[in-house]
Amino acid sequence: MRKAVVTGATQGIGKAIAEQLLSQGCTVMACARNKVKLEELQEEWTATYPGATVMIYAADLADKQQTHAFAAYVQEQMGTIDILVNNAGAFQPGDICDEPDGRLEQLIGVNLYSAYHLTRGLAPAMKQARAGHIFNMCSVASLKAYPNGGSYSISKYALLGFSENLREELKPYDVKVTAVCPGATYTPSWEGSGVTEERIMTATDVAKMIWAAANLSPQANIETIVMRPVKGDL
């Protein structure tokens, strides 16, 4: 059965992706900053998905050294993986000229560098195996500027650029790279906003699309997934 790594796995889209993979019997290494929440989910998921294996690791992937340590742990515990989902990220709206000093560095750290350094740690084994699929969780903010996007949008544009360059590099090794660009999706960040769950997509919608893309024939790849609510973005 396939082995997968999912970062930012304790809530929202990351949690839904981990659960989708576990429901299919995959071995999943779930990573997030909150160790207590990871331990609670490991217990819950082990009971819910008895046919799958749940592994956890607590780390702040905005920290380069912690990311390197996590990559080494994955290699030690899992060997070569089949699916990597770079989902760890943060959302902070703002205007470039007015947002707090350091906001760009913060968001580039968690939204781009985490994926960059973890991929550099795990992709060489995929290249050697000539197989594997890397999903980078971008956003519709990666595709078009919008009001109040600020450094968040900059970081997501950068993640899309990383994905496209990575795809070209890995094509000769039969390793797939998919950039996932969801629009408004109901996650904890929307709670209390006044937006109803019926207006926007569910995290499960995104997880199902990733699973579908991961199950194409070896010679086919969906390079970019763009999803929006049927009524459009907010």
Give the catalytic positions in this structure: 152
- Is the C-alpha dihedral spanning 82, 5, 63, 166 positive or negative? positive
Amino acid at the residue 64: K
Residues 6+ away with beta carbon under 8 Å from 148: 93, 94, 95
Q: Which two tokens stand for residue 132?
A: 């594997």
Q: Which two tokens stand for residue 173?
A: 């090794």
Residues 6+ away with beta carbon under 8 Å from 152: 90, 91, 92, 93, 94, 107, 111, 141
